[in-house]
Structure 1
Amino acid sequence: MEIMDKPYHITGGIYLVLNPAIDEATLLAKLHSALQGGINVVQIWNNWHPTADKPALINKVAALCKPRNVPLLINHDWVLLRDVPALDGVHFDTVPASLPVIRDVVKRPFITGITCSGSLDTVAWAEDNGLDYVSFCSMFPSSSAGTCDIVTPLTVKRARALTNMPLFVAGGITLQNIISLKKLTSFDGIAIISGIMGADDPEQKVKQFQLALSANRI
């Protein structure tokens, strides 16, 4: 039997998280602009309006991402991977009860990532279970990061000794603190919500974040 490969390989860069509860036209327009700036990964946050047509919005977002070869992930609701082929993967906020069962149900290769907060045990679990990347939240205080604990740069540095997976940092990320954080630890990408979607010109903001991320890499 032929073994299918995953649709994309995540290596780092700018990881944009979309809030599906906002006005759809605004979301799609902002996303289009951000993609023109050079977004590397897109995730749809599990914050849906109660009456949302999830597959319909996912397909509209995918129609913008696919031409630019940008992977599209869903947060938490992995069953949508089975039902909506346009999705490329899932991001978990906590360790799922049984990843093998999820993989068996979905029946196709998909990208998997997880938020580690400050837990190196979660990093080790991700490494042991063949995940594609890990994300640390929250590096700085942030309203959009919710209840995430603050993660120290030392934790991210220790994670690098445990895995070669791409490491993303999230929560309160700004153009200024990316530079200061890079002096304390290495990381491969940044995950952002309002810092891009709240900008008047998402395309330009993404370009600025890309420059800050690539400058003087450790």
Structure 2
Amino acid sequence: MSINLNGLYVISDDILTPKETILIQVKEALEGGATIVQLRDKTSSDEEIEKLVLDLQELCRKYKALFVLNDRVELAIKLQCDGLHVGRSDHHRVEEIRKEYKGILGISCYGNLQLAKEMQDKGADYVAFGSFFPSLTKPNAAVVNKEVIKNAKKELNIPVCVIGGITSKNANILINEGANMLAVISDIWKSKNIKKKCEEYTNILKGK
């Protein structure tokens, strides 16, 4: 499949996208134009989410979207997930992961451009910066200066994802700095109409 590392990147949440409804919610997001979907499950065991991972990946493929599994390196390798995203706890083993994992690899770099350059050199397919605004999902996350996006676009050869407190009202600020992907959690899943909210972002990203 051809991978488009641009557009609306929706990330699941243990509370806002419970297992009972996550597939329906993700389908609505995909119908609204989401191009990337990340499963971020901080509570279940690998065994408990194995079927969900495969179901989400299949659903994303139907919509020609990228499915990304958060943090669970061994499971992503075992199930041959299309995408894997890792953060601080795995930075030290990115080279080792890259040797074993063949899909799209994304790395959280917070506000650190030097780290992003290192991760690019070690095989990252995209990097994520944030939080750019106070975040409901990670209330203790440090707020990052948006200058890092502009600088990253000058110095990196890979796409840039932005995250943290993004809403349809402030998204343009980050797009104007050059962000390729908008990663959104609360503003999507708390919406009464997920599809419509995703369409709103899709139109913002297209400059409509």
Structure index of larger Rg: 1
Deviations 1:70-117 (A, max 9, x none): 1111111110122213x11211112522223223344xx211011111
Between the aligned partners of 1:48 and 1:13, the Cα distance in structure 2 is 28
Report what 1:89 is aligned to: 83
Q: How does 1:64-103 map to 2 (within 5 A)?
A: 64-85=59-80, 87-94=81-88, 96-103=91-98
Report what 2:144 is aligned to: 151
Is 1:126 aligned with 2:126?
no
**Alignment CA distance shift 1:105-1:182 (3 Å):** closer
Is 1:171 aligned with 2:164?
yes
Give how far 1:170 is off: 0.9
Residue pair 2:162, 2:174 contacting (<8 A) in 1 also: no
Residue pair 1:170, 1:192 contacting (<8 A) in 2 also: yes
Match of 2:185 among 189, 193, 197: 193
Give how far 1:181 is off: 3.7
User: Which amino acid is 1:92 matched to?
Assistant: V
Normalised to the residue count of structure 1, the TM-score between the two structures is 0.86
Is 1:41 aligned with 2:36?
yes
Between the aligned partners of 2:46 and 2:2, the Cα distance in structure 1 is 31
Residue pair 1:10, 1:132 contacting (<8 A) in 2 also: no
Report what 1:12 is aligned to: 6
User: Which amino acid is 1:160 matched to?
Assistant: K
**Alignment CA distance shift 1:99-1:116 (3 Å):** closer
Between the aligned partners of 2:107 and 2:77, the Cα distance in structure 1 is 19
Give how far 1:59 is off: 1.5
Is 1:215 aligned with 2:204?
no
Give how far 1:169 is off: 1.2
Deviations 1:104-142 (A, max 9, x none): 344xx2110111111011211122123111111101001
Residue pair 2:9, 2:181 contacting (<8 A) in 1 also: yes
- Any unmatched runs of 5+ in structure 2? none
Between the aligned partners of 1:197 and 1:9, the Cα distance in structure 2 is 24
What is the Cα-based RMSD across aligned positions, in Å?
Answer: 2.1
User: Which amino acid is 1:79 matched to?
Assistant: E
Match of 1:57 among 39, 47, 52: 52
Between the aligned partners of 1:117 and 1:51, the Cα distance in structure 2 is 26
Residue pair 1:91, 1:114 contacting (<8 A) in 2 also: yes
Residue pair 2:136, 2:186 contacting (<8 A) in 1 also: no
Identity %: 26
- Any unmatched runs of 5+ in structure 1? 1-6
Please state whether the residue corresponding to 1:57 is helix, strand or coil: helix
